[in-house]
Amino acid sequence: MPSILMIDDDDEFSGLTSEFFTRRGYSVELATGGKVGLAKVAASPPDLIFLDIMMPDMNGIEVLRELGSDYDTAGIPVLVMSSRDVDAGMQRMFSQERNFKGFVPKPTNFDTLEMKVAGLLRVH
């Protein structure tokens, strides 16, 4: 069963996303912030990470850089989720990180997201 770690401080969105993917056979674990998320990745690396950009303890780019700097986590694909518009500068900044596999708008179309996840996990 593929595993997903969702690092996001939005409990409602995390709950809906977790429920959707759990019903489809994924194992989903939640982390409410970057530091907790990094600790969970270190303890049990997931197959894929959903990562929010704006969180109180660490922002998404900080988490992404931490993941990319560690040999054990550098290969985990990360989809970055945001309710904010992503400008060209932010797109360039995230695109330079090796784990980054794309942006996902919040709220999202879960069927489209599931196709992205399936594609990444086949390649991964």
Domain map (residue ranges) of the chain: 3-123
CA Rg, the chain, in Å? 13
What does the pLDDT look like over 5-48, one tens digit per residue? 999 999 999 999 999 999 999 999 999 999 999 999 999 999 99
What does the pLDDT look like over 45-58, one tens digit per residue? 999 999 999 888 99
The pTM assigned to this predicted structure is 0.93
Averaged pLDDT for residues 79-107: 85
Looking at residue 39, its pLDDT comes to: 97
The domain made up of 3-123 is a member of CATH 3.40.50.2300: yes
Phi/psi class of residue 72: alpha, beta or left (left: φ > 0; alpha: ψ in -120 to 50)? alpha
What is 3-71 written as a DSSP string?
Answer: EEEEE-S-HHHHHHHHHHHHHTT-EEEEESSHHHHHHHHHHS--SEEEEES--SSS-HHHHHHHHHHST
In degrees rounded to 5, what are phi and psi of residue 7? -105, 100
The band of 91, judged by pLDDT with boundaries at 50, 70 and 90, is: confident
